[in-house]
Structure 1
Amino acid sequence: MTIFYRPAAHQRPVPRDTELAEPFLGDIVKWESITQQYFDGHIDEDVYKTYRLTNGVYGQRQGGRNQMLRVKVPYGSIRPEQLEMIGYLAEHYSRGWAHITTRQNLQMHYVQLDQMGEVLRLLASVGLTTREACGDTVRNIAGCHLAGACPYEILDISPWAEAAYEHFVRNPIAQRLPRKFKINFSGCDTDCGQAMFNDVGVVAAVDMNEHGKRQAGFRVYVAGGLGANPHAALALEDFTPREDLLPTIEAILRVFDQAGNRDNRLRARMKWLVDTLGIDEVRRRVLSIRRTLIASTSWPGGLPDAVKLDGDEPAGRASDGVSLVGHGAASVPVTIAARRPVDGASEYADWERVNVVRGTTNGTVSAYAHAPLGDITTAQFRALADAQRALGASVRLTNRQNLVFRDLQEHQLGDLYRRLAEIGMASAGAELLRDVVACPGADTCNLAVTQSRGLAEAITDALEEAGLAEVPGLRINISGCMNSCGQHHVADIGFFGIERRVEAKSAPGYQLLLGGHVGQEQIKFGSRALRLPAKNAPHAVVRIVERYVGERDAGETFATWLERAGGASAVARSLRDLDRFDTEEHFADYNETGPFAVAVGESECL
């Protein structure tokens, strides 16, 4: 595929069909034909909406031809020319910046529907697609952003995530599903890939084979989900051998396609199928289909080509020093940088200690670039691409809306830091407390009740002012409604937007949840504490964190402290004084000047 775009700001790329590889070109030609038929009135609105969503084009609150465009970035792996292209598109077709999502996609808003064909061509020229980024399809395949660079992983899940993406994108069995279908990969039970709340969650694991030797494979979990009714994923079987992984995922998808609820979209996800049939029956059907799937022309059994080509050897060592797979470089001792700031250290030393992870077989290191709220400007995209090229690094988008530079050498860290500092992306603590995660909220989303992004900024500012922004071991997530696009259920401190009624007046508010956590192949959803005015939520966060810091024992986690403190209800009682609406400010949301009003529209793609 020809890559014709370079980062010079004045250069306008002119894609030609001869430069685009199939199947990208086929997608684009069909898009332009179907969209023109829609403009001409020959395709009904509801039919076109289904087609549009399947191609990653999502209506937004502003209506008209304003669209949100979601670009798939499988397991967050992105190349410099792709970073440049997103920057170019953000500048010329959006509002000057793009956004990293919690599923490692990239999103742009205010893209005009009649310009979408041009945009899709430009994306295709650098190997990016929006195909099946929305709609009732297999969504972007997500995975641990440190895969292949983590000292604790059992397998490098990168080639497995790539194989899953290649197998399911445009696959006929993955199109008109009862509902969306999400697959996540993690390389160990730390579960940085967040497998435990997805339709299929894959976690690398170890088992004893028939000869009494350890073998690396997977534990597959099914039917997890967040939303208004969160469900924990359940184990399908004790252990899935590597050669059976893709057939297992396909068998799960086929069961969902055959038995999922097509009459009620609100109960159509995989989690509801388990509620209806029971996990034992779902398990029986999946394993039955997997056993005979070899008869299908789509059978993906054995080791996928991506795994054969790149290998899946873990970056670190097994706990007993034994390499588990044995088809990669020899393992060496590993270290991981302390994930905490050091008082009195220089800004660089602080960044190096907090944002750098060490522990790969070839001695390379990884370092986080901080993108507050997941937003990256055109200039930052270009600078990130320049840094990636200059350092010879690989880059991944993270599910906490940052980037991580990987495959670095020690002597390159100073250069990377300087480059990131120049563009405002060198804050220490990416992925830690100051790094609040939020969905787009009422800025653009039809379903959002509140301005979640504004609250995230206010919480970060309040933590900085209180000197608490670098407290380790805590995560804050915010959603603008109960649907949990900001993943508030699994944060230590979570919020979702609600409407409050005070003396017949509408006011922005949030439900506070405490104690959510995902990891060690377990998940705990946060418990409801109390409802708060939006403008008082930052004060609540500061008080909770101050109390945790003041009362915790050495090494005590937030979850353990919360339990010792009496749980979410006890902490809520100490915050009751904040549940008040005593100024006009309480009746306006963040980033808004007028009185608060709920303007929830029709859902397109929950």
Structure 2
Amino acid sequence: MPGSMPENPGFTEDQKQYLEGFIAGIAKKRGIALPNGAAEPPAAQPAASVEPSPANDPTLIHRIAQDRAIAAGGKLVPEELAKRSKNPFDMWDEIAANAAAARFPKGTDVFLHKFHGLFYVAPNQEAFMLRLRLPGGILSAHQAKGLADIAERFGGGYVDITTRANLQIREIGAAHPLDVLAAVDELGLTSRGAGADNIRNLTGSPLAGIDPQELIDTRPLTRGLYHHILNHRELYGLPRKFNIAFDGGGRIGVLEDTNDIGFAAVRVAAGKPVPQGVYFRMLLGGLTGHGSFAQDSGVLLEPGEVVAAAAAIVRVFIGHGDRTDRKKARLKYLIERWGLDRLMKHAEQFLP
């Protein structure tokens, strides 16, 4: 009878138990009734697919924001349509194919390459420029030497310094973007999100850590936010570029009030509504080159709160920044439409 053990004095007790379990497993798989009961039903199978949602795909917040703009009667700009049709970080094979053919990108792919820090800078140069991410403008001697070597091997033999304490390698040929990206990665650096609609290089006090007059060393804060961004893929592909700066209150400022978010260190004396110590004022809506300086949000943050606060403001901008007009797609204009109080109330829902 299926499932029963033949009498065989040659089997040990352990062997009998093993064979009984083996036969029971076969019977269960085939739906055969076991000696002491009916066949067990097959185990429930997992669902074939899970409906996408921000809970299992955080990047959907961008499509939701785009859909909201369309539902309101807006027309997405070409850059938004490009991001909607193709994830820029899924383009590695395309970049490889173009490199193999010594071919530069065309159309909106030029824009999408900037998510990798690759700028096709024609007509000024028939070449790529690679922009890095250096939080606080800090790198090691080993990394500096490595970048010089990359510039010699694949670029024009020189490196530019930018106004956001960053570095750029120019004159990279069409055949070498992956060589450069790989070499940068091997130095422990990255160019991910260094261009296009992303949070740009994080700046901190130029003399951070060595200024005897500073209230706080901003280096751990720029590094902390840098790693937070790198490990939250939904913080890429914003309505427009986004600048953040940290000023430690030292001798040389970082011009934090020209950034979308500026953190300015202040010392609070005893006898105030908050305990004495060093805090950060959060300034919002600055815009470089437009004569528009950031407003004080009225919030005082402890150093351990600034990364979460910055991420919360960015998430509000992702959801409600203008995706139909590039000229109005900065945090400044969202504040003008909403007012600071409404922006801050929306940001609170994203705080831990």
Same fold (TM over 0.5): yes
Shift in CA distance, 52/212, structure 1 to aligned 2, threshold 3 Å? closer
Pick aligned residue for 1:35 from 81, 95, 112: 95
Q: Secondary structure at the match of 2:266?
A: strand
Partner of 1:546: none
Output the CA distance in 2 between the equivalents of 1:179 and 1:212. Answer: 36
Q: Secondary structure at the match of 2:215?
A: coil
One-letter code of the match for 1:230?
A: G
Task: State the 1:32 CA deviation.
Answer: 3.9
Output the CA distance in 2 between the equivalents of 1:170 and 1:265. Answer: 27
Output the CA distance in 2 between the equivalents of 1:56 and 1:80. Answer: 22
Q: Secondary structure at the match of 1:237?
A: strand
1:244 lines up with 2:310 in the alignment: no
Alignment of 1:511-590 (within 5 A): none
Pick aligned residue for 2:195 from 134, 157, 164: 134
Alignment of 1:96-175 (within 5 A): 96-175=157-236
Alignment of 1:202-217 (within 5 A): 202-207=263-268, 213-217=275-279
Partner of 2:114: 53
Give per-residue Cα distances to partners, 1:186-231, cap 9 Å, x unaligned: 101756222110011111122357897412221111110123x331
Give per-residue Cα distances to partners, 1:29-70, cap 9 Å, x unaligned: 965412145578xx9844422330111111214368511111
Output the CA distance in 2 between the equivalents of 1:280 and 1:46. Answer: 40
Moved more, 86-95 or 70-79: 86-95
- Is contact 1:222-1:233 (8 Å) kept? yes
Pick aligned residue for 1:269 from 299, 318, 330: 330
Task: State the 1:106 CA deviation.
Answer: 0.6
- Is contact 1:191-1:203 (8 Å) kept? no
1:222 lines up with 2:284 in the alignment: yes
Shift in CA distance, 173/230, structure 1 to aligned 2, threshold 3 Å? farther
- Is contact 2:125-2:171 (8 Å) kept? no
- Is contact 2:204-2:246 (8 Å) kept? yes
One-letter code of the match for 1:151?
A: P
1:91 lines up with 2:152 in the alignment: yes
Output the CA distance in 2 between the equivalents of 1:242 and 1:105. Answer: 24
Unaligned runs of 5+ residues in structure 1 are 1-28, 295-606
Shift in CA distance, 263/121, structure 1 to aligned 2, threshold 3 Å? same
- Is contact 2:96-2:178 (8 Å) kept? no
Output the CA distance in 2 between the equivalents of 1:106 and 1:95. Answer: 14
Partner of 2:138: 77
Give per-residue Cα distances to partners, 1:517-536, cap 9 Å, x unaligned: xxxxxxxxxxxxxxxxxxxx
Shift in CA distance, 146/63, structure 1 to aligned 2, threshold 3 Å? closer
- Is contact 2:117-2:130 (8 Å) kept? yes
Task: State the 1:170 CA deviation.
Answer: 4.9
Output the CA distance in 2 between the equivalents of 1:211 and 1:230. Answer: 34
Shift in CA distance, 176/118, structure 1 to aligned 2, threshold 3 Å? same
Give per-residue Cα distances to partners, 1:517-564, cap 9 Å, x unaligned: xxxxxxxxxxxxxxxxxxxxxxxxxxxxxxxxxxxxxxxxxxxxxxxx
Output the CA distance in 2 between the equivalents of 1:56 and 1:107. Answer: 9
One-letter code of the match for 1:186?
A: D
Task: State the 1:95 CA deviation.
Answer: 1.8
Output the CA distance in 1 between the equivalents of 2:252 and 2:311. Answer: 22
Output the CA distance in 1 between the equivalents of 2:170 and 2:285. Answer: 31
Partner of 2:52: none
Task: State the 1:174 CA deviation.
Answer: 1.2
Alignment of 1:397-436 (within 5 A): none
Partner of 2:248: 187
Output the CA distance in 2 between the equivalents of 1:44 and 1:129. Answer: 21
- Is contact 2:217-2:248 (8 Å) kept? yes
Output the CA distance in 2 between the equivalents of 1:44 and 1:71. Answer: 20
Output the CA distance in 2 between the equivalents of 1:206 and 1:232. Answer: 22
One-letter code of the match for 2:282?
A: V
Output the CA distance in 1 between the equivalents of 2:172 and 2:98. Answer: 17
What root-mean-square deviation, in Å, do the aligned CA atoms of Structure 1 and Structure 2 show?
2.7
Output the CA distance in 2 between the equivalents of 1:190 and 1:222. Answer: 23
Output the CA distance in 2 between the equivalents of 1:268 and 1:122. Answer: 34
Identity %: 27
Output the CA distance in 2 between the equivalents of 1:230 and 1:258. Answer: 26
Output the CA distance in 2 between the equivalents of 1:238 and 1:170. Answer: 26
Output the CA distance in 2 between the equivalents of 1:207 and 1:179. Answer: 35
Output the CA distance in 2 between the equivalents of 1:181 and 1:53. Answer: 14
Output the CA distance in 2 between the equivalents of 1:198 and 1:267. Answer: 16
Number of residue pairs matched by the alignment: 262
Shift in CA distance, 189/203, structure 1 to aligned 2, threshold 3 Å? farther
- Is contact 2:98-2:175 (8 Å) kept? no
Unaligned runs of 5+ residues in structure 2 are 1-88
One-letter code of the match for 2:285?
A: A
Task: State the 1:274 CA deviation.
Answer: 1.4
One-letter code of the match for 1:277?
A: W
- Is contact 2:98-2:174 (8 Å) kept? no
Structure with the higher fraction of residues in strand conformation:
1
- Is contact 1:200-1:221 (8 Å) kept? yes
Output the CA distance in 2 between the equivalents of 1:212 and 1:176. Answer: 37
- Is contact 1:65-1:114 (8 Å) kept? no
